[in-house]
Amino acid sequence: MAELLDAVGDLLAGAASVWALGGPLSELAAEYLIRQLAGLRPGAHRVPDSASARARTLLDLGGSAAVVAYDFRRYSPATARFTEAACARGARLALITDAWESLLAARAEVLIRLPREAAGPIAPLAHQIAVTELLLVAVAARLDPAGRLADLDALTERL
């Protein structure tokens, strides 16, 4: 796991921009990643929901962008379409998926497979959030975000 965290830390710290998305439930983990990552570095964005906004986003993606996709069983076709298009434009992919493995795995530069979900009808987010926090720690270790976080705190107090 340490090698994966090093790889994703390097990817997300070094990218010009980071875009995250997920499916109907995993979008919550993507949103959490971006909210936290935006405090650590500039250029952290959530992939928009509408097709037209996604198309505009793709116009500017290239080899300097990273995409973090959360894709789990009952895989999201919209997540796959955007991610495939972003990779075709040169974006680098970090994929967080499950034991059954998303079809996007073949495109991933960094692939993190989480254990099978708990039994029952509820799809737990605990593993997704825990891994997301580990990713954030790996990125923070590469960026020294203390000044940015202090600026964020000062701006927040003024607003």
- The residues spanned by each domain of the chain are 2-158
Average pLDDT score over residue span 84-89: 96
Q: What is the DSSP letter of 68?
A: E
Give percent of the chain with pLDDT exceeding 90.
71
pLDDT of the residue at 7: 94
Strand partners, 65: 17
CATH level 3 topology of 2-158: Rossmann fold (3.40.50)
Residue position matching structure tokens 């020294």 = 144
4, pLDDT greater than 90: no
Task: Look at strands 65-71 and 17-22 and give their pairing.
Answer: parallel
Of 149 and 31, the one with more pLDDT = 31
What's this model's pTM, rounded to 2 decimal places?
0.92
CA–CA dist 35, 146 (Å, integer): 16
What type of residue sits at position 153? D
Average pLDDT score over residue span 89-118: 90
Helix axes 2-14, 126-143, angle to 10 degrees: 60
Greatest distance between any 2 Cα atoms in the chain: 47
